[in-house]
Amino acid sequence: MEISAIPTEVLTLNPDRLLAKLYLDWMPQPGNYIDVEGNTYTILERRHRYQFRRGKYNLFRILVYVQPAPANLERSIIDGRWVIGDVKCLYNAHSEILRCAVNPDGPCRDCRFWESVV
């Protein structure tokens, strides 16, 4: 399925407010990060809105609920997706949600368990 630019509304949960209306060329997933007006947010939830046209339902809009990402967020892109933490560390989970097995809250800098990937 080819994804074209999808109208997306970015909202916060508490307080409930609209941050932005964007056109995304990728499908936002919970755990991904999104940058809005210079701030980074973690996507918590995604909802779809459909419209019935010409006898079928079409994706009309996506709503994503977000929260501010931690200030000490270390992240990198690997294979087209964001992962948190130092990807050069042996214990990095290569996940959007979990940093690593031994120090999940981070930070990676000055971690006593840090080992280089060979």
Q: What is the pLDDT of residues 21-65, one digit of tens each?
A: 999 988 898 988 888 998 888 899 999 999 999 999 999 999 999
The pLDDT assigned to 43 comes to: 92
For residues 107 and 73, the answer to whether their CB atoms sit within 8 Å is no
In this structure, the number of other CB atoms found within 10 A of the CB of residue 109 comes to 9
What's the mean per-residue pLDDT of the chain?
86
Task: Select, from the ranges 54-58, 79-83, 94-98, the one with the highest average predicted confidence (pLDDT).
Answer: 54-58
Assigned token pair, 93: 């989970």
Q: How far apart are CA 61 and CA 90, in angstroms?
A: 40
User: In the structure, what pLDDT confidence band is assigned to residue 72 with cuts at 50, 70 and 90?
Assistant: low
pTM value is: 0.66
Q: How many residues does the chain have?
A: 118
